[in-house]
Amino acid sequence: MALRNIVTEGDDILLKKCRKVEKFDKKLWDLLDDMAETLYHSGGVGLAGPQVGVMRRVCIIDVGDGLVEYINPEIIYREGKHQVVEGCLSSPGEFGIVERPIKVKARAFDRNGNQFEVEGEDLFAQAMCHEFDHLDGVLFKSKVIRMLSPDELKQDDE
C-alpha cells in the first residue's frame, strides 16, 4: 500500500465526470488499498477516485463503523432533507452548510464485482452523497448554502 497525493480544489480533474469501472482486477484493488491508507492518514470520512487523480467511479467511506468500498455506485432512494456542515479533503480547512438527504439507499459493486445495497442515515448518508457527487465532478462548494466564517470555524474547534 502507498499514500497517494490528494488533489486540491483548482485542479480541473475534480470537475470532470468519471468513467465506469469495467475491470475488477489487481489494479483496482491496489487503488482501493491506497485510497484507504490515504483516507485514514488524512483523517477524513470519505475519498473518491478523482481526489487521487483516478477518473473512475470508485470511492470509499468510513464514518467510524468500518470501511465501505463503492464501485460504480448510484443512489436508489433518498428520504428527508436537512442542513449539515460539510467539508472536503480537497478543500482543506474550509467548511460550509449544505442541504443533504437524511437517509439514503445506494447500490454499488464491491471490489470483486458483486453488487450490494447499503442504507445510511445522517453522516453516512451525507458522505455517500458527497463522494458520489465527486464521481460526476461535483464539489460540495457548488451546493453550499453558505460557507462557515473563520469565527464559526474557531467555535467548532472548541
Cα gap 15→136, rounded to integer Å: 7
135 binds Zn ion (CB under 5 A): no
119 phi-psi bin (left φ>0, alpha ψ -120 to 50, beta other): beta
| Residue (87 or 113) nearer to Zn ion, CB | 87
How many other C-beta atoms are found inside a 10 Å radius of the C-beta of residue 106? 24
C-beta neighbour count of 73 within 10 angstroms:
23
- Tell me: does residue 88 bind Zn ion (CB under 5 A): yes
3-state secondary structure of 42: helix
- Residue 121 bears catalytic tag: no
- When the beta carbons of 51 and 72 are compared against Zn ion, the nearer one is 51
Q: Which is nearer to Zn ion, 24 or 153 (CB)?
A: 153
Catalytic option among 94, 121, 131, 158: 131
Using CB positions, name the residue nearest to Zn ion: 88
Residues labelled catalytic: 131
Q: Tell me which residues touch Zn ion (CB under 5 A).
A: 88
